[in-house]
Structure 1
Amino acid sequence: MGEGAHEQRSGPGLRRGDVQPIAHVRGGRVEAVDDDWDRETAVIELEPRFGPEALYGLADFSHAEIIFVFDQVPESKIETGARHPRNREDWPLAGIFAQRGKNRPNRIGLTTCAILKIEGTRLHVRGLDAIDGTPVLDIKPVMREFLPRGEVRQPDWATELMAEYWARAG
C-alpha cells in the first residue's frame, strides 16, 4: 500500500472522515469536572438528517450506551503512554488504555446512561459524563446479553478513583 493510501484509510473499510456525529449533547455541565456525574441530566439531540423514527423502540430500554468525542481536549494533551490517573503519585502508572481518561489518542468516550424519556429526536438521559455541545457518534441500547459475563475485576486504585464519580447529591 502506498503512502497516500495509508493517509486515507485508518482501518479496513474505514476512511478518515467517514465517522460523523449523529447528535450533540445539549445541557448538563459546561466543564469536564470529575465526580458526581449521576446527578447530571442532558439531552442528546439528533442531527437534522435523522427523524424521530431513528429513536423508535429505544424508550423500551432502561439504559443506552453513548459513544462520543472529547472534542475539547487539545491535541497537545493527548496521552499515548502511561501516567498516574488524576496525576496522583500514590496511584500506579497506568497506560492510557488501562484507564478511561478523556485525553485518549482518538478522544472517544463511552458512557452507559439511564434513559429518562424521548421527545421526537431528543433523548433525555441521566449520568452522561460529557459536556454541553459534545458530538455524539452513536447510541446503543444496553442489553443484558452484552453485559460482562463472569466476574469483573479491577485494581484498588480504580475503585478509589471511581468512588465519587457517579455519586449523587442528596
Structure 2
Amino acid sequence: MLLVDLIGIQMDPLTGVALLVLREHDAPNRVLPIVVGGAEAASIAMAAQGQTLPRPMTHDLMATLVERFDGHLDAVEVVDFQDGAFIANLAVSGPTGDLRLDTRPSDAIALAVRLHAPLFVSEHVLDEAGTYPEPEGESALDDAEIDAEVDQFRDFLDQLAPDDFILGAADADAD
C-alpha cells in the first residue's frame, strides 16, 4: 500500500462530474482521479476547509459514531479497481478489536478528512488507474508540430465545398 495525499476536488466544466484527485506521496507526479458524486464532493470539500453546518451531515455522524464508541480510524485503503469502480476499506480499531469495513472511496475519504486518517492506495490500483498528468504549461506537441497540424486542418477546410455538407435524397436512400 502506498501513502497518498488528497490534493483537490475538481469539477469537469463540460459534464459537471466531480473528481477527487489523490497524489502518490513519494512520487508526486502520479495521481489517481476518482469520480465521486456531487454530495460526497461537497462533503469532502467542506471538511477539508474546516467548514461545518448547523446540523451534522452523514459523514459528520459517522465520525461522531467512531469517536463515541472509542474507535479510531487508522487508515483508508483503496484496495482494488473492478469494472471501473474503486473498492475501499476503512481500517478501524477499537475496544472490540480491529475491523476492515468495505466502503466507497468517497465515503471513506470524507470520513478520513474529518478524523485526520491517512489515505493509502494499493500499488496495483495506481498502476492500473493512476495517471501522469502533463506539467503545467507543457504540451505533448511542440509549437512547430502544432503549427503544422493547424496548417493541415486549414488546407482541409479550404478544399471543402458547400455540397460536401448536403445529404442528397439519393445518398439518404443508400443508408
Task: Answer yes or no: same fold by TM over 0.5.
Answer: no
Indicate the structure with greater helix content: 2
Q: Which has the higher contact order (CA 8 A, sep 6+)?
A: 1
Superposition TM-score, scaled by structure 1 size: 0.22
Q: Find the structure with the greater CA-based Rg.
A: 2
